[in-house]
Amino acid sequence: MSEIGVDQWVEQSGDRQEQYSGRTAPIRRLFDSLRPGWRLVIFLLLAAAYPLVVSQSGVRIGITVLLLAMLALGLNIVVGWAGLLDLGYVAFYGFGAYFYAIVTSNQLPAHWPTWIAIPVIVATTALLGALLSLPSRRLVGDYLAIMTLFFAQIFGEVVRNFERLPGVSEDLDLTGGPNGITGVEPWKLFGYEFGTFNRNFYLLLVLLGLLIVALHNINDSRTGRAWRALREDTLAAEHMTTPVNRLKMLAFAVGAAIAGLAGTIFASVQVGVFPNNFVLLFLITIYAAVILGGLGSIPGVVLGAIVIAYTPEMLRDPSTAGVLFYVGLVALTVAMLKKWRLVATALAGLVILGYAVRWAALAIWGDSILGTANDTLISRVLDGWLLVLGQSQEVVTSYAFVLAIVGALGVIAAQNWWRVVWLIPTLYLAILVWENKLALQPSVTRQLLFGGILMVMMAVRPQGLLGIRQVEIT
């Protein structure tokens, strides 16, 4: 019990803050001891060196990463700082991209120069964001989320189906419908054309650097603090005379403007825009980046974007994907079981189970069920351990996939030794499905992964990798 006059909650506030502990403590301590400016300089130097050491396709991936980082930073303003759940964010990105594509390609005879196009587009997108913030005066939480989601859907429908506005522009094709727009001109500034991947990479890097500096300052400013007050308790903030509606509008507008800017660069790099670039899948990708990194934290969001944009690229190459998968599997096993004794038992059991299943399968059905084994990590380490299936592959892996999910749920629900018992067959099934199916379909695997990341992250560490744990006051 606390003394009279000392509030217990205030007194214990130190305990609630996260201390450095666990295996990653030294890294986190080092990171926190650096001043934000130095962090940014180190990041920019490392990023600037990146195109020098990788191939052109590597630079292309780098552009994807930087674009995602930029978008994630913009979304972070709306969701992380102001606490407004905006599921229509991808529409602003699409709007910027389409606007840029329309005014610089052959859709219109206009061909605006970049220095006119960019300010106009950014301002228009900001205006659109401000417009979309109007419903947030009345709607909160889930209602606002679903409303913005409808906005994104309507954007997609319009872009796909109304390339010719009925009655307005019967013979003027604006959006190109499902085929999108091609032949978009790259950015041109001061007679300098951003036509190559390298130039676009550095352009993005410079913009990202400026954006980070600006956001860092905004975060510490009156507006930034007011946004956080809004997020924590809108009602209380309003009573403290915070102009709630204006701040919501500002958050939406700034977030939208950043998305619009990113959209123009995207259109310029891709030399075209297509309706499928701006679907819900991409929105979830941005959300995954923001949430994985840590809602509200600038370095966190950038880190999240790097991880989220890079992972699918690694999945694309089967051998690295394999390494990633097995490392992840072992890490998960360790995290689930914690004690080395249990981990060792699980791994030994896994090896035995593999040989036993293979022996049993061959004894019952004979050699005919076997397919040709690929040269994968597991076949090199444990030759003849895995059942590589032939024709019946589709059916068996489907069942194995469902069973693996059931098994994973069992692992979560079970404790101690029961957990080991659940884990062994689950691991086996997971490897079976991976080698026979998942590794061959990277795009589906990516979707599964994102969905899984969002769920696991929310359950385990809702504040993300670098986020600050929020204290709920009830």
Amino acid code (one letter) for 49:
A
Residue 147 or 181: which CB sits closer to another protein?
Answer: 147
Binding mask 52-91 for another protein (x = CB under 8 A): ---------------------------x---x-x------
Task: Give, for 199, the enclosing helix (H) or strand (E).
Answer: helix 197-220
Residue 4 or 235: which CB sits closer to another protein?
Answer: 235
* CB 329, min distance to another protein, A: 18
- DSSP state, 422? H
Amino acid code (one letter) for 220:
D
Tokens of 227: 């946004």
Q: How many CA atoms lie within 13 A of 186 on its CB side?
A: 16
Distances in Å between the Cα of 110 and the Cα atoms of 25, 118, 162, 396, 433 are 56, 14, 20, 57, 53
Residue 184 phi/psi, 5-degree rounding, is -80, 140
> Alpha helix (H) ranges present in 296-441?
298-316, 318-337, 340-365, 377-381, 393-413, 416-436
Residue 157 or 220: which CB sits closer to another protein?
Answer: 157
Q: How far apart are CA 266 and CA 63, in angstroms?
A: 9
- DSSP state, 272? E
Which of 92, 201, 401, 434 lies at the binding interface for another protein (CB under 8 A)?
A: 401
* CB 90, min distance to another protein, A: 13
- DSSP state, 233? -
Amino acid code (one letter) for 72:
A
Which of 361, 369, 448, 468 lies at the binding interface for another protein (CB under 8 A)?
A: 448
Q: How far apart are CA 409 and CA 195, in angstroms?
A: 49
Stretch that binds another protein, among 302-310, 379-387, 417-425, 452-460 (CB under 8 A): 452-460
Site size toward another protein (CB under 8 A) is 50
Which of 271, 361, 370, 405 lies at the binding interface for another protein (CB under 8 A)?
A: 405
Q: How far apart are CA 222 and CA 341, in angstroms?
A: 53
Q: Does 314 bind another protein (CB under 8 A)?
A: no
* CB 85, min distance to another protein, A: 6
Q: Does 230 bind another protein (CB under 8 A)?
A: no
Residue 111 or 137: which CB sits closer to another protein?
Answer: 137
Q: Does 419 bind another protein (CB under 8 A)?
A: no
Q: Does 92 bind another protein (CB under 8 A)?
A: no
Which of 7, 15, 383, 472 lies at the binding interface for another protein (CB under 8 A)?
A: 472
Q: Which residues pair with 272 in a beta bridge?
A: 182
Which of 97, 117, 147, 208 lies at the binding interface for another protein (CB under 8 A)?
A: 147
Residues that bind another protein (CB under 8 A): 79, 83, 85, 135, 138-139, 141-143, 145-147, 149-151, 153-154, 157-158, 161, 235, 280, 284, 287, 291, 398, 401-402, 405, 409, 412-413, 437-438, 441, 444-445, 447-448, 450-455, 458-459, 462, 470, 472
